Amino acid sequence: MSFTEMRDRASDPLPQQPLTELMMLMQGEETMKPGIVRIAAFAASVLLCMALPAFGQDVTINFTGVENTNVQALGAYAGYYSGTVTANGVTTAATPGFICDDYNNEIFLPSESWQATATSFASLATSPAALSSTLFGSAIGIAGYAAIADLAAMMNGASVQTQADISAAIWYIGSIGSGTLSLSDLDTNAQNLVTSLLGSSGEFGTIGSATAAAITELENSSLWLYTPTGADISPAGDPMPQEFIANVAVAAVAVPEGGAPLLYLLLAALACCGGFAMRRRQQIAGVNRLPAISR
């Protein structure tokens, strides 16, 4: 019932009921509201837990070193890094390793850990919200991350020099928004990787320019992004760490057995509370978050 209707009805004669009974009914109506709000908030939180998407989930990244110190590019260790991902209480090694897409930030040997947000590359193809949870989404868009996914997939089994070129190409794409690197900083092979991807993925830095091939690249990718949140950095005092790529999937929190029936019961409870509240109103109204080798 709208405020206007209640105001208009206030001028109508009340049904013949004792004043004390009306006061009890009105007090019951007022105390019903907090209860209903609490139940609704609880139900909403349960619904949220039951519908976690493939992005936006907090994990712990533990960086433990580099896989091959001979792989270097742009004055930094490149190729694969060693470490683990801990998600939902389960720790999994990144195999064959982490790939860093972030030349703007630094991490430090011998080890470091931090909290990150896990996002599947596949989810970037369809969800603007997933893109916004990444480190460079607003600057390189879907086309940029599709190119990074393509390059990351080339890394496994590649030679030392090719791994270095792939890393350099990835770092360049990730730095487009900041201008930290220019294409001329890369060697010829790395530059060729970048320019070839411009044609297949679309123009980097233009969010809406992704090609159909770029969308397909993302949809078919099994890789995940781990974007630092700035929280739980250890050792304490280290700066913002890097965004990593690996194939450690982060499963959504599983719905406990019996979760669906529980949901139905909660919805039924809400419906009952709503009906009870309406009846009360009717009674009252009368109607009732690697270091560079050298930089």
Q: Looking at the domain assignment, is residue 48 inside a domain? A: no
Which pair of structure tokens corresponds to residue 109? 């040997």
87 and 228 in a common domain? yes
100 and 36 in a common domain? no
- For 175, 191, 196, 221, the CA distances from 180, given in Å and listed in that order, are 6, 16, 21, 27
279 and 196 in a common domain? no
152 and 268 in a common domain? no
Q: Looking at the domain assignment, is residue 255 inside a domain? A: no
Distance CA 250, CA 52 (A): 11
187 and 121 in a common domain? yes
Q: Looking at the domain assignment, is residue 62 inside a domain? A: no
Instruction: Render each residue's pLDDT in the chain as its tens digit; 295 residues.
Output: 443 333 333 344 444 444 344 344 344 444 434 454 454 444 444 343 333 445 569 999 999 999 999 999 999 999 999 999 999 999 999 999 999 999 999 999 999 999 999 999 999 988 878 988 999 998 988 889 999 999 999 999 999 999 999 999 999 999 998 999 999 999 999 999 999 887 777 666 554 567 788 888 899 999 999 999 999 999 999 999 999 999 999 976 443 444 444 433 444 444 444 443 444 444 444 433 354 443 3
* Interior angle at CA 150, CA 148 and CA 154, nearest 5: 110
Which pair of structure tokens corresponds to residue 88? 């939902």
85 and 218 in a common domain? yes
Give the structural domain span for 278. Answer: 3-8+16-42+263-285
Residue 199 identity: G
223 and 113 in a common domain? yes
User: What is the tally of structural domains in the chain?
Assistant: 2
Q: Looking at the domain assignment, is residue 60 inside a domain? A: no
The SS3 assignment for 251 reads coil
Q: Looking at the domain assignment, is residue 64 inside a domain? A: no
149 and 206 in a common domain? yes
Which pair of structure tokens corresponds to residue 179? 């201008």
